[in-house]
Structure 1
Amino acid sequence: MKRSPYNLSKTTLAIASACCAMAASATAQQTEPSGPEVASSPVQAPQAAAPAPDNGSSTFQEVIVTATRHSTSLLKTPVSMTAVTQEALTRQGITDVRGLSGQIPNLQLGSAPNGSSGVKIAIRGVSSNDFTEIGNPAVGLHVAGLYSPRPQAALGLLFDLEQVEVLRGPQGTLFGRNSTAGSINIIPARPEFGNRDGKVEAEVGNYNHRQVSVVQNIGINERWALRATYSKLQRDSYLNQSRDFYAPNFPSLGITPALDANGAPIPAVDQRHNAAIGRDKWYNNKDEYAYRLQSRLKVTNDVEWRLAYEKYQNDGAGDISLKDCRLAAGTPYACPGSQWDITINTPGEMDMSIDTVRTGLSWNINAGNTLEYNAAYATQKRRQIIDTDLGYQPVLSDLVNRPGTSPYNDQATFTTSSKYVSRVHELQLRGQVAQVRYVTGLFWLHEKNAIDFGQDYLANASGTYGYPTYAYLYHQTDRQADSKAVFAQADWTFAPRWTVTAGARYTRDKRTDSNGEYYDTRTSSDRGIYFLGQYTPGVPGTPGYQPFNSTHLLPGMGAYYGLAGLSPTLVPQVSNNAGTWKKATWRLGLNYQATPKDMLFTSLSTGYKAGGFSDVQNICANGLNGNCADRPPGPHYTNLPWEPETVTNLEFGYKGRLFGDKLSLSATVFHSRYDDMQLTGGVTVGKIIPKIPCSAAEPYCDVVVLYGTTNAAKSAMSGLELEGQYRPQPGTRINYAYGYLRAKVRSYPGYSENRDISCNIRTSAGAPPCVRYTGTDPALRNLFPVDITGHDLPNAPRHSVRIDIAHDFELANGYTLTPWLAARWQDKMYFTLRNLDTSHVSDAEPSYGVVDAALRLEAPNGKWHVEAYVKNAGDTISKNFARVVEPGYVLGSYNDPRMFGVRVGARW
């Protein structure tokens, strides 16, 4: 019998039944019906409202959210979601969305380690690790309800917000561009009519941390209001960064450094960027500012116009990966110092700006219906430099096992320029007619992106000693994307306590590349082409041969200098491609308002993420005489196209208030099935005739592996999400959240080991060895297949829990003292589908916990406050991303160590 894709496990169904039974039992005596809630002011855009002041109550305040495009109570919104206020963000020291990781059930965020400054957002184990202008995120990011397409925007500062809303599960009907995993909506505080008030918050802490935010609301009258906000954040690096002057010295192999006129070793690694800089300029520092200017005008009693300009600037050094010293201990690659020590010859540079204009016009057609138009125009520019090798050098045994290769590492990544321009338009008609609440609309996104991105691989394990391994450059001047959609959703209260929801969306996505150029020095027969004719190393083994060193690397050479840094003899591979994808997605839901305080709901929904394609590349370019072994002689091109990703999600949930309004509870059980899941990484596309015979440690040196995206996998996720607040007595607040997630690969027959991890690493780690496929299935030709069925998806810890408690102590003369303590813990999680986890080589992060605390003194009527805080009090060292690299250690992106300080604030 064919199994239904919507079957839930017995465990999941049992949890759902328990939640429903608990809700029914607790509310059996309350029978007052309650229909759907509608925005109280239909002429305004759906706008979240922060909860009212505490006032020592033992019951919690309502939180208003916009997840259905109507303003509704969080506890009467049949969607799995979390709302985080600005007060909570400030208290927890969260300055960008990465700080939400682990704070919300089944939400994980991490820093991209590839020099893109993207943010990896995973909800319920689903994410995207393509942070380039090619990829589409699995989690949609919205600001003021408008979609923001590039993942770098997630670095923007969170300041002066009503709240951040995180929706879990596919958003295939209402929100911006389709997303398969969920949506994050950042909602700025809006200008208030008639008020002239403001506030300031300043903060100082360890590592020379300094932060300030200023807000001024100017209610000119009852029809026009302005609001201005400014925020600045600076912090020195917590790393110990030293300068890299490495020169390989292995006399037993005949490798010694060149000497200068004084007999001192000449560094082999590039010194063109190496400079003495202070801790405030080291990697993992902070140097950002942002401001927002808003205007809100009631043109008439029924028409309101909003206009906002927002600027974000990041001048930090960028984040960098570090060797996992815990795993490396006891191996030849053990760290000589602490976890935070790095040796750098290419200091980090970042110059990223995001300028956004948003506008909206709302017209209250009549008492129940509103027509609204919103638009955003954003320009994101970025220049970034990152040291890719991090100063981690090979040991003698590595070189013995691979004679003739480079005895050192020297790599750097350059985004010399990029400009991403996006336009977003959305037209909505929403309201209520009789017992039907509805929203319908049109959506259009247009992007025009350009980037110059390259890398200098001057020396690494795959290069021949004495010659630069290679340099490449992507010169993309015109990459465009359009996403157009029509959508509608309606909630029909067909009985006093029953509401059915039906929604649909039809999306058409299109992408084009025009005259994109890819340059690669490996396509040239001149092995010294990097030097532009200014230096010739000679031929190894012949008189006069001298391996190059840093003195031969001159300004004007390499990808850092763009097209001018590459030989004019290089012939680019040109991309002129276009693709179109279409999809209808839908949502069906049913909710039962058992009492005014208790709701049960279920939904079945679908999501979709558009397909795409990569840059055109010649599969055979690096083969002997430019030939493949499995194709006729000559070039053979591919742009690695991939198809859309789709998901179907089933949920059951309960939301309500229990025990005399002292406890709020949101509980959701879910099951999702993904098909054609998009996965980005090494893709095997062919087999070349190698220029140098393959070794036993590198049996696939003749296999062509390109970086791209494929639709190889099917997966399934089931889980439970619990969250809410408990108020046992006046002034005491206990917030809690728990997530259970079982996210597994159902099928991936084409998974293959490739250059992400070599066969000798698998052997040393005790993993099954690489075995080349020798069967007749053409889909597995040239692969080294590994069965990963049943493996965990990345960024999907099985259990995660968070609890925080605060109590207000009322002091004399109206002062309030509030201690706050928070703890969170999460289970082990993997960062790749490989699920390799041994004592010294692992792509997992073990389970860990973090404790935060604060003590706040507030003056009467909240006129001023002072607060001392500590984050990560136990100084837990934890990663949010990791990967295994040659020759057999782990690089990871790390969360912050212990941070502490004092913040003060005032209102007027």
Structure 2
Amino acid sequence: MAALLSVLAGRHSLRRPLCNGLLQGGTSVKLRRLFLYAFVPVFLATGGAWAQEDEELFVEEITVTATKREESLQDVPIAVTAITPLQIERAGMLDIRDLPTLASSFNMNSSQTESQGTTLRIRGVGTTGNNIGLESSVGVFLDGIYLSRPGIALGDQLDVESIEVLRGPQGTLFGRNVSAGALNLRTRRPSLTDQSGFLNLTAGNFNAFNVQAGVGGPLSDRVGYRLSAAVRNQDGFVESVSGAESYTRDRALLRGQLLWNFMDRGSLRIIGDYSDADEECCDAVVLLETPAAALGSFAAAGLPADGGVSAFGPSAFEARRSNAGPFVNPFDQKGLSAELNYNLTGNVSLTWLGSWRDFFASSIQDDFVGIGVYGVSPEAANGFGTFDDIESWTQEFRLTGDTERVSWLVGGFASGEDILEHIGLGLLGDFSSFVDAVLWNYALAPALAPAQLLGGVPLATGGTFGDVLAADNQALAFSGGIPVGGAFANNVYRQEGDSWSVFTHNTFRLSDRFSLVAGLRYVDETKDGSFRQPAASNPGCLATLLNARALAEGASGTPLAPVATSIGNLNAAFNCFPFATPADTGVPILPATFADTFQDDELVYTSQAVYEFSDTVKGYASYTHGFKSGGFNLDSTAAVGGADPRFDSEKIDALELGVKSEFANRRVRLNATLFDYDIEDFQVLEFTGVQFRTFNVPKARSRGAELELSAVAGQHVTLNFGYTFADSEYPDDCAGDLDAASVRSLCGAKLTNAPENVVSFGANWDDTVGDRFLVFASVNGRWEDDRRTSTQPNLALDVQEANTKANVRVGLGGYSGRWAVELWSNNVTDEQTKNVTFNTPLRVGSRSTFLEAPRTMGATLRLTF
């Protein structure tokens, strides 16, 4: 113990090739002290409790369904982080945004809209994107039902019984889009014996007020019910200089269940839910302002001197101050699912799951600045609204059986998804002056002196290039005097997808201690994708293109030809903003509609060798081949210049070695894993400032190690600890034979929002006061290493430095568990951190970021009966 304390305190070196970054450097000193101060007193207070011979103390046995069967966590040859009901309650978990504190290998990020721009990652691997055509690498399953988009899973985690984070590819058993892993969430089932209920009331800062309630019990000796509901409200934690708030909460959820046990051989469970939200999200904070403001470019163009950005840099970041108007993101969803379990014979059972779900989200968005550049709203887009409508269904059949030496499973799965997206975007009244400021007064300024020699070149719209150079608003003059403000486009995207698969997963017990596991799934995916444009108008764009060609032709053959080409191309990039430009004009650089089909199939498989060294120690080795379907870049620029709007499927080959163990009379549970991934055709989306680009990177990889510890450190203390080292990156040869600059620029860089080292930690203490009261306290936290918050590499501003966030909770309750009052604070030290960083749209040289939640605090009253 003394040696351990010395290491934690930093007095001895500890060489770990995989985790040097965790144990060296200034941040790691703070980390060591955190462990020393938080956990050493607990060890000392327990007085060596692990050595005591009290047989009643042991870590809780956890049952998981990671193999589609109920099994002990320690018996499953899969890396699983299992979150218990007590952990969910003591962590104050409201939705999956709170999960990273409890699972070191999991993290998530949201960008422009939480309903569409949410990315889930496991072991540093996830699909970054604000494009509805991209699907997640981490599948989310609620009561066995696949939720097709992460945004659908962002509702309150109401009446949840358990959460399983399945790490690594899970395709053989879970099917679609689980190449990085899966979240398996289970809600409480209706009881056929006891009538019970609960009521949770929470109030906190930012005017937060949450209500959760549930009731359930038997309707007869064979039928039970459960009803649960939640209402959640909170002011936003980002405020614009105009007073608009962002990241608000205003949502409600209702779920009802019926359970019918019939003929003593089967059960039918039916679940229906409805939720809606009317929230404002997500505005961004400007980290780096364009130099055009300091140079007076906006003032020279007749705009406010700050160009609509009065809050930027470190002060705006710390104050959580933005510059735009409201970002409105209401959404609602409804779903129905059923699960039938029937025992055909003593050893063979049938399971059927079916579901239908509809998700609808609309959006009104500003341009991240305080002047009128563009807007995503009916007012800006000729009355055309912006929304996503996703309708999906699933059907799954499974047969399972057991013999003396074999546990077998065979099944089939089918699903369909219909996506309809409308985007209405319009350019506003300040647009031409804005382009005059950031382009002509700033970006093009060095080229304008030599460009005077081109003053006599005639332009297609009349006059000469010299007239443009002499104009007060050169951007407006170059578009032939036609204001680009007022341009709009109504874009409609649709994708209809069908998937089917057949699968098997079997365990062969070759001896009492040695087993082999083999799983196969054949997957077939078909998607029909299209882009059409009911209406659009941008005559200023077309005039700009004509003048750009005239200027290039007039300078052809002269030393100024590159200057002329650059002037024309840059004006076209702004005035022909692709989200507000007509399609199918015959101009190669402008949007083109499309209608096409994507089809792919794959054989997904896993093989595992499992050896039981003792009753409490088990090891396994596995090799898994995973797959995530390709699809369509549902964006107006996807087919520009005849490009293929489709992107390829993503494939992953994963090696894993794991040990699961319990010792100290089952008071300590220690599970460890080594993993090594090679990813082919990794799917990436990047925002350039004027368009979203979706492409495949031929090679990516992730390799590392995980450690999870749970311990009962005495009669009153339980401890949880998790550590993940994940070297997730694009290798130096990531581009393969591709010459695309967008791909080659990533080679050698880390994957987005993939910290190399992550630690999660938790401690719970409880004790009785007499025979009437229970007191308790808990702390949960997460330390993570530096991470890159954008797709673009080598931008120091985009790096979120290492940080620690801790949540604390203390409470007093009745000894019977009927009531409890809790005081809590999340992110208690108020760490301000970046989420996703990006080019501020159209604002040359500017970078903005979406923020993560600051410190919150409040009180909760829990009642049960």
- State the TM-score, normalizing by the size of structure 1: 0.73
Q: Does 1:713 align with 2:698?
A: yes
Q: Does 1:901 align with 2:864?
A: no
Change (3 A) 1:190 1:327: farther
How far did 1:478 drift? 4.3
Q: Give CA-to-partner distance per residue, 1:522-570, whole Å, 9 cap, x none.
A: 58755699xxxxxxxxxxxxxxxxxxxxxxxxxxxx99xx99x999999
How far did 1:724 drift? 2.4
Name the structure where helix makes up a greater proportion of residues: 2
Q: Tell me what 1:234 maps to.
A: 233
Q: How does 1:319-338 map to 2 (within 5 A)?
A: 319-324=282-287, 334=313
How far did 1:130 drift? 2.8
Change (3 A) 1:387 1:222: same
SS class of match (1:177): coil
How far did 1:299 drift? 2.3
Q: Tell me what 1:353 maps to.
A: 332
How far did 1:366 drift? 1.6
Q: Does 1:378 align with 2:357?
A: yes
Q: Does 1:681 align with 2:686?
A: yes
The AA in structure 1 aligned to 2:856 is: M
Q: How does 1:236-251 map to 2 (within 5 A)?
A: 236-243=235-242
Q: Tell me what 1:816 maps to.
A: 774
How far did 1:341 drift? 4.9
The AA in structure 1 aligned to 2:726 is: L
Q: Tell me what 2:664 maps to.
A: 659
How far did 1:410 drift? 4.6
> Which among 517, 521, 525 is matched to residue 501 of structure 1?
517
Q: Does 1:362 align with 2:344?
A: no
- Separation of aligned partners in 2, 1:455 and 1:240: 24
Q: Tell me what 2:41 maps to.
A: none
- Separation of aligned partners in 2, 1:331 and 1:825: 38
- Separation of aligned partners in 1, 2:742 and 2:669: 52
What is the count of residue pairs matched by the alignment?
A: 712
Q: Tell me what 2:756 maps to.
A: 798
Which one is further off, 474-483 or 463-472?
463-472
The AA in structure 2 aligned to 1:899 is: T
RMSD: 3.4
Which one is further off, 660-669 or 317-326?
317-326
- Decide whether the 8 Å contact of 1:344 with 1:387 is kept in 2: no
> Which among 269, 275, 279 is matched to residue 312 of structure 1?
275
- Decide whether the 8 Å contact of 1:858 with 1:865 is kept in 2: yes
- Decide whether the 8 Å contact of 2:135 with 2:177 is kept in 1: no
How far did 1:337 drift? 5.3
Q: Which structure 2 residue ranges, 5 or more long, are not aligned?
A: 1-15, 21-53, 296-311, 379-384, 440-473, 477-482, 546-575
SS class of match (2:206): coil
How far did 1:343 drift? 5.2
Q: Tell me what 2:611 maps to.
A: 592
Q: How does 1:549-698 map to 2 (within 5 A)?
A: 573-615=592-634, 636-681=641-686
Q: Tell me what 2:409 maps to.
A: 439
Q: How does 1:189-338 map to 2 (within 5 A)?
A: 189-243=188-242, 282-324=245-287, 334=313
- Separation of aligned partners in 2, 1:862 and 1:619: 57
The AA in structure 1 aligned to 2:828 is: A
Change (3 A) 1:97 1:898: same
> Which among 527, 530, 547 is matched to residue 511 of structure 1?
527
Q: Give CA-to-partner distance per residue, 1:350-393, whole Å, 9 cap, x none.
A: 220110000111111122221011011001111111223243x8
Q: Does 1:826 align with 2:845?
A: no
How far did 1:750 drift? 5.3
Q: Give CA-to-partner distance per residue, 1:74-106, whole Å, 9 cap, x none.
A: 111110111113432333233221221243122
- Decide whether the 8 Å contact of 2:289 with 2:845 is kept in 1: no
Change (3 A) 1:658 1:468: farther
How far did 1:220 drift? 1.7
Q: Tell me what 2:421 maps to.
A: 451
The AA in structure 2 aligned to 1:712 is: V
Change (3 A) 1:331 1:428: farther
How far did 1:68 drift? 0.5
- State the TM-score, normalizing by the size of structure 2: 0.76
- Separation of aligned partners in 1, 2:229 and 2:704: 40
Change (3 A) 1:682 1:894: closer
- Separation of aligned partners in 1, 2:147 and 2:712: 37
The AA in structure 2 aligned to 1:487 is: F
How far did 1:707 drift? 2.8
Change (3 A) 1:518 1:795: farther
Q: Tell me what 1:23 maps to.
A: none
- Separation of aligned partners in 1, 2:747 and 2:529: 35
Q: Tell me what 1:630 maps to.
A: none
Q: Tell me what 2:318 maps to.
A: 339
SS class of match (1:163): strand
Q: Which structure 1 residue ranges, 5 or more long, are not aligned?
A: 1-9, 15-54, 244-275, 394-407, 530-557, 622-635, 684-700, 752-776
How far did 1:416 drift? 2.1
- Decide whether the 8 Å contact of 1:86 with 1:159 is kept in 2: no
Q: Tell me what 1:272 maps to.
A: none
How far did 1:152 drift? 1.4
Change (3 A) 1:883 1:428: same
Q: Tell me what 1:171 maps to.
A: 170
SS class of match (1:581): strand
The AA in structure 1 aligned to 2:237 is: Y
> Which among 716, 736, 739 is matched to residue 780 of structure 1?
739
- Separation of aligned partners in 2, 1:747 and 1:514: 35
SS class of match (1:218): strand
- Decide whether the 8 Å contact of 1:616 with 1:637 is kept in 2: no
Which one is further off, 127-136 or 282-291?
127-136
- Separation of aligned partners in 1, 2:89 and 2:288: 32
Change (3 A) 1:856 1:614: same
How far did 1:454 drift? 3.2
The AA in structure 2 aligned to 1:662 is: R
How far did 1:224 drift? 0.6
Q: Give CA-to-partner distance per residue, 1:181-211, whole Å, 9 cap, x none.
A: 1111121111111211111111111111111
Change (3 A) 1:318 1:498: same
How far did 1:834 drift? 3.6
- Separation of aligned partners in 2, 1:456 and 1:808: 58
- Decide whether the 8 Å contact of 1:447 with 1:482 is kept in 2: yes
The AA in structure 2 aligned to 1:607 is: G
> Which among 807, 828, 838 is matched to residue 873 of structure 1?
828
- Separation of aligned partners in 2, 1:806 and 1:433: 42
- Decide whether the 8 Å contact of 2:289 with 2:846 is kept in 1: no
Q: Tell me what 2:802 maps to.
A: 847
Q: How does 1:92-171 map to 2 (within 5 A)?
A: 92-113=91-112, 117-171=116-170
Q: Tell me what 1:49 maps to.
A: none
